[in-house]
């Protein structure tokens, strides 16, 4: 128990350190926020006039997909940040201090959740400007935002593991782009599943990004008739499927990241 308390306490210090870094280099946050705003505006006004949906407007359909894409891409900052600290020798300095071995990873992933929270708030405001509305209860909307943050947190642990494996932040960004880009586009993020070819549709139906997107659409009241177009279990039970995926990711990548941290930092 004391080990966990020490890890959380030391992790809080690392969180503070990461947030101070953003204050001192505000360009990091500015460029983080510009990207989702750009996606909302481009997709809303470029694709919005070309895609017709039954039961819901495209802009309401779109915002959940933008949320999903942004929080997943936001997880790459975890890997890039850790890789940067490794490259500069900061991790070695942390190891010389009387602090928990897990504190660096706990603090890094927690601080990036806070960054994702700010990104979601900015996206929500931009979505309201282009016509997006929450049509469910207050608590359902809160559950939707919490689900997004939970999934972002789980992906941060994947990126933390990647950041400890590669030699530089640039490699993290390139590796993440290769995996995350198709993962977020072969899904129901921007187009309905029935518009995809059969093989891609099957992949998209079981893609956790699709279930997270569908879950947030339902929790925000933006799904319309979209859920009925697929009878796949993940699309019919999106909240449960997303939570299960998140728990599996944490069960695998938290111990992998901690073990890799000990190996990498001892090199």
**Does pLDDT of 265 surpass 60?**
no
Q: Where are the domains of the chain?
A: 2-265
pLDDT (tens digit per residue) in 147-162: 999 999 999 999 999 8
pLDDT level of residue 229 (50, 70, 90 thresholds): low
Residue (of 146, 8, 179) closest to 79 by Cα position:
179
220 vs 37, higher pLDDT = 220
Rounded percentage of the chain residues whose pLDDT exceeds 90:
25
Which of 110, 122, 98 is CA-nearest to residue 39?
A: 122
Confidence of residue 212 (pLDDT cuts 50, 70, 90): very high
What DSSP assignment string belongs to 55-81? SS-HHHHHHHHHHHHHHHHHTHHHHHH
204 — pLDDT class (breaks 50, 70, 90):
very high
Average pLDDT over residues 40-66: 75
> Where does residue 52 fall: left (phi above 0), alpha (psi -120 to 50 degrees), or beta otherwise?
beta
pLDDT tens digit sequence for 84-113: 888 877 777 777 777 777 778 888 888 888
State the pLDDT at residue 214.
92
Q: What is the DSSP letter of 51?
A: -
């Amino acid at each position: 128990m004391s080990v966990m308390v020490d890890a959380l306490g030391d992790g809080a210090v690392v969180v503070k350190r990461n947030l101070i870094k953003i204050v001192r280099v505000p360009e990091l946050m500015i460029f983080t926020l510009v990207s989702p705003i750009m996606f909302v505006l481009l997709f809303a006004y470029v694709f919005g006039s070309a895609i017709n949906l039954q039961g819901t407007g495209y802009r309401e359909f779109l915002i959940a997909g933008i949320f999903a894409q942004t929080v997943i891409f936001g997880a790459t900052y975890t890997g890039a940040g850790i890789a940067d600290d490794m490259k500069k020798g900061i991790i070695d300095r942390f190891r010389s201090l009387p602090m928990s071995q897990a504190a660096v990873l706990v603090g890094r992933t927690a601080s990036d959740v806070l960054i994702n929270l700010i990104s979601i708030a900015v996206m929500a405001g931009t979505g309201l400007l282009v016509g997006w509305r929450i049509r469910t209860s207050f608590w359902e909307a809160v559950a939707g935002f919490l689900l997004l943050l939970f999934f972002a947190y789980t992906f941060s642990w994947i990126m933390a593991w990647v950041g400890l494996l590669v030699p530089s932040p640039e490699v993290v960004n390139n590796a993440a782009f290769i995996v995350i880009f198709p993962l977020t586009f072969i899904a129901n993020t921007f187009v309905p599943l029935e518009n995809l070819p059969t093989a891609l549709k099957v992949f998209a139906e079981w893609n956790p990004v699709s279930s997270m997107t569908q879950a947030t659409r339902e929790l925000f009241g933006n799904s319309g008739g979209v859920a009925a177009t697929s009878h796949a279990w993940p699309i019919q039970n999106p909240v449960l499927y997303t939570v299960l995926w998140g728990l599996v990711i944490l069960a695998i990548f938290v111990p992998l990241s901690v073990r890799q941290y000990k190996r990498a930092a001892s090199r």
